[in-house]
């Protein structure tokens, strides 16, 4: 699969990441088949979090694949830490404990990437810096990132960290694309002009931070998928016509729309369906024209100034 550098690092990653939040829904045999298929497709970047299934997703992943050092070297493993019941926790103790738990469940000695999972209002960046130093120097984590953070939150961390923030996982899909639209409606008084994220898209591009769009097929906050949804008749009409012209599925076009953006994003899939995963992977090689990209953007309800 086509690859891109992760942030400023020397780590080359597939442009499609495989999200494992729902892997617990599979039995062990199905999970093994899914993971091996992903590897065969070149989709060897797997996104986890300690909170997914309260750790069960990480444990099933390693058990299903029969994790060995040789298999581990074929994968890029990313996990996240920081969400606890009714709170967020970026304390040094919780970060270290969370990583150790993930390593144990994933049956590995190291994570390729660790993300701080959503912002912690009580974050003490010095604490995070100490935890990252320990994890990096011990070889337990090679690279670091964040999720759902805006520029000044990242800048606060960067003041104290000795490691680069390489990626930022953000919700982004065709109907949930305000981080893109607010850069189009500059100096206007409509809803789309409201900057709710501190221009995080431009910030990440300026600082070579890879954006990892999560829920790329969802609209709203886990309200459902927009593909083949009667709530989005015009959008689906346009996507389906473009998909037919390219000889691919609407799933492929939805991801290709994100990959067409010059920010060099790395969408995180959520499907556990092998055929749908194959459609996702095809997006890595399907390039939309400027005309097609904007037609889809407008069909999602965006009006150009």
How far is 15 from 254, CA to CA, in rounded Å? 14
d(CA 220, CA 298): 18
Question: Rounded CA gap, 128 and 116, in Å?
Answer: 9
Could you give the C-alpha distances from 303 to 80, 83, 195, 262, 295, in angstroms and in order?
36, 37, 17, 21, 10
294 in active site: no
CB of 213 within 8 A of CB of 265? yes
Handedness of CA 157, 161, 164, 170 (dihedral sign): negative
Which is nearest to 51 in space by CA: 75, 86, 27, 16? Answer: 86
Of the candidates 52, 143, 203, 219, the residue annotated as catalytic is: 52
8 A C-beta contact, residue 166 and residue 7 = yes
| Rounded CA separation 206/110 (Å) | 29
CA atoms of 148 and 120, how far apart (whole Å): 11
Both tokens of 244, joined, read: 């037919």
* Pairing assessment for the beta strands 17-19 and 45-47 based on DSSP bridges: parallel
Please give the positions annotated as active site: 52
């Amino acid at each position: 699969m086509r690859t891109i550098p992760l942030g400023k690092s020397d780590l080359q990653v597939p442009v499609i990441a495989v999200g494992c939040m729902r892997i617990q829904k599979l039995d062990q045999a199905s999970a093994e088949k899914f993971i091996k298929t992903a590897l065969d497709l070149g989709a060897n970047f797997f996104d986890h979090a300690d909170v997914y299934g309260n750790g069960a997703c990480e444990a099933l992943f390693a058990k299903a694949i029969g994790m060995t050092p040789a298999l581990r070297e074929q994968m890029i493993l990313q996990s996240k830490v920081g969400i606890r019941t009714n709170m967020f926790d970026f304390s040094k103790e919780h970060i270290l404990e969370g990583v150790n738990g993930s390593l144990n469940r994933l049956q590995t000695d190291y994570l390729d990437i660790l993300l701080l999972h959503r912002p912690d209002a009580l974050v003490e960046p010095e604490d995070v810096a100490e935890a990252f130093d320990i994890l990096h120097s011990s070889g337990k984590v090679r690279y670091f990132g964040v999720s759902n953070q805006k520029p000044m939150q990242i800048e606060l961390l960067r003041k104290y960290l000795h490691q680069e923030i390489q990626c930022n996982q953000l919700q982004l899909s065709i109907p949930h694309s305000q981080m893109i639209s607010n850069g189009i409606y500059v100096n206007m008084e409509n809803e789309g002009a409201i900057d709710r994220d501190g221009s995080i898209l431009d910030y990440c591009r300026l600082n070579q931070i890879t954006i990892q769009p999560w829920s790329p097929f969802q609209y709203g906050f886990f309200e459902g998928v927009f593909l083949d949804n009667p709530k989005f008749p015009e959008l689906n009409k346009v996507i389906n016509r473009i998909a037919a012209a390219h000889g691919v599925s609407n799933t492929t076009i939805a991801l290709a729309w994100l990959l067409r953006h010059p920010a060099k994003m790395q969408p995180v899939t959520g499907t556990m369906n092998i055929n749908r995963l194959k459609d996702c992977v095809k997006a890595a090689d399907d390039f939309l024209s400027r005309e097609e990209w904007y037609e889809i953007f407008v069909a999602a309800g965006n009006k150009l100034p």
